[in-house]
Amino acid sequence: MACFRDKVKKHFPLTDIKSVINLFKEQLESNEEPNLALLSIVLGCIENTLTLNRAVPTNDDTKLLRPIFPIVDFSTVDALYTQFETLVKGSVDLTKYPSGYSNRDLVKKISDVIWSSLSRSFKDKAHLQSLYSFLTGNKLDCFGVAFGVVAAAQLLGRNDIHLSLSEDHAWVIFGEDGTDTAEVTWHGKGNEDKRGQSIALSVAEKSWLYLNGHPVICNRMIEVAAIVSAANPSINFTTDSIEMGALQQELLWLLYDKGHLSKYPMALGNLGDLEEISPTPGRPPPLCIFQEAITSAIKHYDNHHVYPYTYMGAYLYRKRCYKEAIKCWAEASNVIRKFNYTREDEEIYKEFLEIANELIPNIVKAVSLNTLDRAQMNILYNPEVYADILRFYDGICEWEEGSSTPVLHVGWAQHLTFSLNKFDPRTRAKIDVGKDEDDEDSEMDENDENDNESNSKSKDKTKPQNGVPVSTNDGKETLKSALDDLKKGDST
C-alpha cells in the first residue's frame, strides 16, 4: 500500500472542496481499487472539523469560529492510516488463511479486530460512521463497524469481502462466488449481536431488515458511494454544515456521473434531499432523482425497498403536494406488505406510524379547515386519494398478516377513522375495492371471495346492487361537481 502514498501525497494539504473532489476522482479513475480506509479517514476528518466542536466561546462572548474549511495535512491522514494498517496487519495472521478466497473464520477474525477496539459507549450518536471516528475515538456505529471490516479486508488484500446493505442494517458477503454472508456488526438496541453467523436464517423470516434477499451488494465503487452517502453534515438537530453538505453533494454527483449510484437507491434519495436544500444548476430536480431511486429499486431489487417511496413522499409533503405524497405512501405500503413484521423492523414501523398517525391526519386537517391549503380541499372529494389511503392501510394490514409481532393497535384505528371520515361520503362510495388482477399473493380462496362479495352486497347499500364495482372515478371529480350533486340530492 506504500505506493498509494506517492499517488495521493500530491493532493495534500486538502484546503477546499475542489481538492477533496480531485482526490476522490483520482481514486475512482485509478487502475487500482479506491482505497477505502484512506477515503473514510479523509471524509471523517473533514466532517469532524466541520460539525463538531465548531465554536469555542471566549470570555468576551464572541464565538471563535474555526476556519470554515479545514486544512487536512497528509501527515495527519498518513499517521491515522498507518495506525489502522498496524492494528489490522498486526492482529490477523494471514498465513492461517492460505486460500485465495476468504472463509467465515477470517471474516469473523477481522470483525473481532474492529469489535474489540471499540469503546463501550454512545453507539447511536452522529458522526460515528468513519474510520476517523474509529481511530481517534474508538467509536463506530452499526454501519461503521461493517464498513471498517470491509476496509480492513481490503488492506489485507481480501478483495472478495464486500459490504451488503439493507435499509437499516449492514453485513458482508465473501467467498468464491460471493454468495457466503456473515454478520459483522450489531443491530438496534437490546439485540444480541449475531456476528459470524450467516444471514440465511434471518432472510428466511422475511423481515424488512434483510429485504427478503434484495440488499445492495457493493463493489469497491459502491463502497465509496456508501462512505459518501453515510457522511453526516448535521451540526445539531436544526443546523447542517453548508460546507459538508456541499462536499457530500459534489461527491455524490461525481459518483452519479460514473454510474456508481445506479444500484444504490438510498444514495440517490440522499442526493435528492441535498438538491432540494441547494439545487445544482444544470442538474435534474429532486423529483427526478427520487424517481430514479424508485426505478432503480424496481429494476434491481424487485421493488422490495421502502425508502425510495418515502424519500419522495416526504419531499412532496414538504412541498404541500398532498395528493401525490399520499400516492407515494400507498406505493411504500405496497412494498412493506411483501414482508412479515419482526421485532427488529422498528425503524420502518416508526416510518409508517408517522405517516399514518401524523402526516396523513395533518393533511386532511390542513385541507379541511379554513387554512392556506384550503385550495386543496378537493382532495377530500377525490376518490383516487381516498383509494390510495385505503391501499396504504391495506398494505400495512397485509404486512401484519402472518407476522410474529402485531403491527396495528387501537391508536392506529383512531387516526384511520379520523382521516377517512374527513372524506365526503359520496366520494367514499365511488371507489372500486377490487383485488389487483396480477396480485397473486393477495388471492383469497374461492369461498372467502364469495363470502366477501355477499357481505359487501348485504352491508354496503351505496354499491350498485348489480354488484359491478364502480371503477375509481379518474380523479376528475371536482369539488364543484360534488357539491352540485349534493345540492341536487343526487344519490347515485
Instruction: List residues binding ligand 59V (CB under 6 A).
Output: 142-143, 165, 168-170, 226, 229-230, 266-267, 269-270, 307, 310-311, 314, 351
Q: How far apart are CA 345 and CA 295, in angstroms?
A: 24
CA atoms within 13 A on the CB side of 358: 8
Measured CA angle at 166 (ends 204, 288), to 5 deg: 130
Cβ distance to ligand 59V smaller for residue 84 or 147: 147
Of 12, 36, 29, 30, the residue nearest 255 (C-alpha): 29
Supply the angle between the helices 242-257 and 265-277 in degrees, to the nearest 10: 130
Instruction: Find the shortest distance in angstroms from Cβ 106 to ligand 59V.
Output: 22
CB of 229 to ligand 59V, least distance (A): 4
Q: How far is the CB of 175 from ligand 59V (least distance, A)?
A: 21
Nearer to ligand 59V, 17 or 226 (CB): 226
8 Å CB contact between 167 and 306: yes
**To the nearest whole angstrom, how small is the minimum distance from the Cβ of residue 351 to ligand 59V?**
6
Q: Give Rg (Cα) of the chain.
A: 26
What residues contact residue 444 under an 8 Å CB cut-off, 6+ apart? 435, 452
Q: Shortest gap between Cβ of 457 and ligand 59V (angstroms)? A: 41
- Taking the complex as a whole, the smallest distance from the CB of residue 169 to ligand 59V amounts, in Å, to 5
Q: How far is the CB of 217 from ligand 59V (least distance, A)?
A: 12
Query: φ, ψ for residue 21 (rounded to 5)?
Result: -60, -45
Grouping H, G, I as helix, E, B as strand and the rest as coil, residue 162 is strand
**Cβ-based nearer residue to ligand 59V, 267 or 380:** 267
Report, in Å, the least distance between residue 146 CB and ligand 59V: 6
Which three cell numbers mark 94?
494471514
Given the complex with ligand 59V, which of 143 and 339 has the nearer CB atom?
A: 143
How near is the Cβ of 176 to ligand 59V at its closest, in Å?
25
Of residues 5, 70, 71, the one with CA closest to residue 37: 5
The residue among 81, 92, 138, 83 whose CA lies nearest residue 115 is: 138
CB nearer to ligand 59V: give 107 or 230.
230
Cβ nearer to ligand 59V, comparing 228 with 380: 228
- CA dihedral for 243, 244, 249, 253, sign (positive or negative): positive
The residue among 72 and 145 lying less far from ligand 59V, judged by its C-beta, is 145
| Residue with Cβ nearer ligand 59V (185 or 340) | 185
Question: Could you tell me the three cell numbers for 391?
Answer: 391501499
When the beta carbons of 14 and 209 are compared against ligand 59V, the nearer one is 209
Q: Considering beta carbons, is residue 132 or 311 the nearer one to ligand 59V?
A: 311
Parallel, antiparallel, or unpaired: how do β-strands 234-236 and 170-174 relate?
unpaired
As measured in angstroms, the least distance from the Cβ of 200 to ligand 59V is: 19
Residue whose grid cell is 456521473: 257
Residue type for position 469: P
Of residues 157, 152, 163, the one with CA closest to residue 220: 163
**E strand segments, 52-169:** 55-57, 63-65, 162-165
SS3 of 182, please? strand
- To the nearest 10 degrees (0 to 180), the angle between helices 74-91 and 104-116 is 130
